[in-house]
């Protein structure tokens, strides 16, 4: 059911006509009754790295390395009110790599250089635009006490102007928007 909720949110969002626009990200968040939370963020590469092409210089590789380290920290991406008792259980990033721009999730298997070369241009769509996708997971001890869902992305990535979101629980769904001035969504029960 959990994967179905997230898939449904992403398909619905895609059908709504997502357009790549610098500064504007998206997030889909699913919360199950047993406290599993999964969120998937999509943010234009320009808003994260300051460029969308594969890193070409040592300076650009350093920018990518710093940004990817921040994006791999679940606390930067998503936060909840303390009473919910949420603990991060994982994060997966699909964006530029500091080694030259290939994109893949860390699946725990040794890197395959041929596979990396085959996917090196995957996020570049003809050299024009790239998206950074990050999936983060949490386990919440008291999911019924989740009252606030927020992010710290704006403080770390000032090129992000807003993030449109969809939140689905076992009993409700809501659309919301985060901005640098309003980084929290308050659930109504």
Q: Report pLDDT digits (tens) over 108-161.
A: 333 433 333 333 333 433 455 688 999 999 999 999 999 999 999 999 999 999
Instruction: Note whether 39 and 77 are within 8 A (CB).
Output: yes
pLDDT category of residue 166 using cuts at 50, 70 and 90: very high
Task: Quote the pLDDT of residue 148.
Answer: 96
Q: What is the pLDDT of residue 29?
A: 96
**φ, ψ at 63 (rounded to 5°):** -60, -45
pLDDT score for 172: 86
First to last CA, the chain: 22
Per-residue pLDDT tens digits for 55-90: 999 999 999 999 999 999 999 999 999 999 999 999
- Quote the tokens at residue 144: 């019924």
Residue 133: per-residue pLDDT = 94
At residue 62, the pLDDT reads 96
Report the alpha-carbon distance of residue 80 to residue 17 in Å, rounded. Answer: 29
Sheet with 131-140, strands from edge to edge, namely: 86-94, 131-140, 36-44, 24-31, 162-168, 173-178
Other Cβ atoms within 10 Å of 55 Cβ, number:
20
Q: Tell me: the pLDDT tens digits for 5-49?
A: 555 555 445 445 555 576 899 999 999 999 999 999 999 999 999
**How far apart, in Å, are the Cα atoms of 164 and each of 38, 66, 167, 179?**
16, 24, 10, 9
What is the model's pLDDT at position 95? 79
pTM exceeds 0.75: yes
Predicted confidence (pLDDT) at residue 164 exceeds the cutoff of 50: yes
| Tokens describing residue 162 | 């807003």
Write down the pLDDT at residue 116: 36
Q: Check residue 10 and give its pLDDT.
A: 52
**Per-residue CA distances from 169 to 5, 32, 144, 147, 183 (Å):** 8, 6, 10, 12, 20
For the chain, what is the mean pLDDT?
Answer: 80
Query: CB–CB of 146/81 below 8 Å?
Result: yes
Residue predicted with more confidence, 107 or 42: 42
| pLDDT on residue 22 | 66
Distances, alpha carbon 52 to alpha carbons 19, 70, 87, 115, in Å: 16, 18, 32, 21
Q: From CA 139, how far away is CA 49, in angstroms rounded?
A: 29
């Amino acid at each position: 059911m959990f994967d179905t909720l997230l898939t449904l949110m992403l398909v619905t969002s895609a059908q709504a006509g997502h357009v790549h626009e610098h500064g504007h990200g998206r997030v889909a968040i699913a919360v199950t009754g047993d406290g599993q939370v999964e969120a998937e963020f999509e943010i234009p590469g320009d808003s994260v790295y300051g460029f969308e092409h594969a890193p070409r210089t040592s300076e650009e590789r350093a920018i990518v390395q710093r940004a990817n380290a921040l994006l791999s920290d679940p606390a930067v991406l998503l936060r909840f009110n303390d009473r919910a008792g949420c603990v991060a259980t994982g994060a997966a990033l699909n964006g530029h790599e500091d080694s030259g721009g290939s994109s893949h999730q860390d699946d725990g298997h040794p890197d395959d250089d041929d596979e990396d070369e085959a996917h090196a241009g995957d996020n570049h769509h003809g050299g024009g635009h790239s998206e950074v996708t990050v999936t983060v997971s949490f386990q919440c001890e008291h999911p019924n006490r989740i009252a606030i869902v927020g992010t710290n992305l704006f403080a770390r990535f000032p090129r992000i102007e807003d993030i449109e979101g969809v939140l689905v629980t076992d009993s409700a769904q809501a659309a919301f928007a985060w901005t640098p001035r309003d980084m929290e969504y308050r659930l109504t029960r």
